[in-house]
């Protein structure tokens, strides 16, 4: 039972960290390509960065983050 609980905990942790990595990679890529640049303030628009869809699917973000 302890091994099964540890395995479930490890899988849950991997999923949670993967989701966080996908979110951060999406935001990083949006800022890198200048998708959410506010010309008036000369700063990136953080609200836009959080909701920008930069790639077609979440797994591309994960693959790019793990590759780089």
Give percent above pLDDT 70 in the chain. Answer: 100
Summarize pLDDT for 24-39 with one digit per residue, the tens: 999 999 999 989 888 8
Which residue ranges make up each domain of the chain? 2-67
Q: Which residue is associated with the tokens 């959410």?
A: 36
Would you say residue 45 has pLDDT above 90?
no
Contact (CB, 8 A) for 27 and 64:
no
Residues 6+ apart with CB under 8 A from 37: 43, 44, 45
Span between the terminal Cα atoms of the chain, in Å: 37
68 has a pLDDT exceeding 80:
no
């Amino acid at each position: 039972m302890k091994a099964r609980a540890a395995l479930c905990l490890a899988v849950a942790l991997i999923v949670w960290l993967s989701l966080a990595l996908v979110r951060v990679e999406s935001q990083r890529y949006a800022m890198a390509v200048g998708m959410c640049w506010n010309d008036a303030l000369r700063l990136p628009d953080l609200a836009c960065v959080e909701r920008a869809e930069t790639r077609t699917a979440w797994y591309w973000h994960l693959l790019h983050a793990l590759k780089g």
